[in-house]
Structure 1
């Protein structure tokens, strides 16, 4: 019995080693991964999914992910997906990341724009956090902006401003309008870490 089962399992393992990278490559290319989602139609022209996950690549082939608790898509506007409790993140070549979360969102698959609304939190891996009520995330360019009042804090201090612009895939944050910056003692040491 062992003469038959051991070679069989060896062949199965070899096939998995050969086939698995090809399957993984298909998932990483742009698209929606439903995973354990439950698809249902609440109305005849609306499709819903629980815990959807969207994987994509930006202009520089850096991966980004958009997940949510619930996604709804209308048959009238197939490129727009309404999200409940969306979260988005982009990982850069050097391993740094930028993450966004909100109460609701609208993702345009064609333009690769995510419009976030309600308690928008933006985190940068160096310890900076921005809180506002609305933000637009351009997944393709790896940038974000907002025109409503914003509060932020980080290792260097705190800031209040009328808006913000994040460029260079999270490396540069510009605050717009009337702004008030409070720099903490020892800010240069905190930023070096």
Structure 2
């Protein structure tokens, strides 16, 4: 009777060990899945240089939008003169392949003979392909000789050095001031053209 009812203990031990192993594998698998999901969904917020000739800044990228905090765009025009554009925030939507929207920007532009020009505005758009910087908000410009101007909007081709605006300009200098409805400026030959109702007031 005793032998007929006897069941070996080692088979029970094997079943317990197998069940424990299955639970351990399931636990590890779930843990790995959670880690992978967290790593994929976590936004990147580290300072990186995506392209040394392009831009530098802390960036966060999602499926449709690239956001760069404290962005810096660097480059050279066709005369190999450097320029630097800094912005508090740069945003590029995936639908706009080459265009960044810039907030609180400052553009430092080198001119010939070590002269320089600075542009400032609250909002602008920069096409990284054509190198065109444009703004439909008030833009302030400052030259190294103390001359400055304000324009409601302008477009600046950083590659060929042409700036123009068709919504007016007011230029101030030691000599006086000029107002005009249209202006253009070439940084190559430093020729400034005022057109459409220009008015000049000369200081006495």
Q: Same fold (TM over 0.5)?
A: yes
Could you tell me how far apart the structure 1 residues matched to 2:87 and 2:181 are?
28
**What secondary structure is seen at the aligned counterpart in 2 of 1:94?**
helix
What's 1:190 paired with? none
**RMSD value over aligned CA atoms?**
1.7
What's 1:156 paired with? 175
2:166 and 2:183 in contact (8 A); partners too: yes
**What secondary structure is seen at the aligned counterpart in 1 of 2:152?**
strand
What's 2:105 paired with? 86
Tell which structure's C-alpha radius of gyration is larger: 2
Could you tell me how far apart the structure 1 residues matched to 2:112 and 2:191 are?
16
Could you tell me how far apart the structure 2 residues matched to 1:154 and 1:122 are?
12
Residue 63 of structure 2 is aligned to residue 40 of structure 1: no
Q: Structure 1, residues 133-155: CA drift from partner, whole Å, max 9, x if none?
A: 10001100122110002111101
Residue 31 (structure 1) aligned to one of 54, 61, 75? 54
What's 1:140 paired with? 159
Give 4+ residue runs of structure 1 displaced > 4 Å after superposition: none
What's 1:105 paired with? 124
Could you tell me how far apart the structure 1 residues matched to 2:159 and 2:193 are?
19
Displacement after TM superposition at 1:32 (Å): 1.2
Displacement after TM superposition at 1:90 (Å): 1.3
Q: Structure 1, residues 46-76: CA drift from partner, whole Å, max 9, x if none?
A: 1101110000010011101111110001112
Displacement after TM superposition at 1:117 (Å): 2.5
Gaps of 5+ in 1: 1-25, 186-193
Displacement after TM superposition at 1:106 (Å): 0.5
Residue 167 of structure 2 is aligned to residue 168 of structure 1: no
Could you tell me how far apart the structure 2 residues matched to 1:143 and 1:98 are?
13
What's 2:87 paired with? 68
In structure 2, relative to structure 1, the CA distance for the partners of 1:70 and 1:55 (3 Å cut) is same
Instruction: State the structure with bigger RCO (CA 8 A, min sep 6), 1 or 2.
Output: 1
1:97 and 1:170 in contact (8 A); partners too: no
In structure 2, relative to structure 1, the CA distance for the partners of 1:99 and 1:175 (3 Å cut) is same
2:147 and 2:172 in contact (8 A); partners too: yes
What's 1:125 paired with? 144
1:114 and 1:137 in contact (8 A); partners too: yes
Displacement after TM superposition at 1:93 (Å): 4.2
Report which stretch shifted further, 146-155 or 87-96: 87-96
> Could you tell me the TM-score, scaled by structure 2's length?
0.71
> What number of residue pairs does the alignment pair up?
154
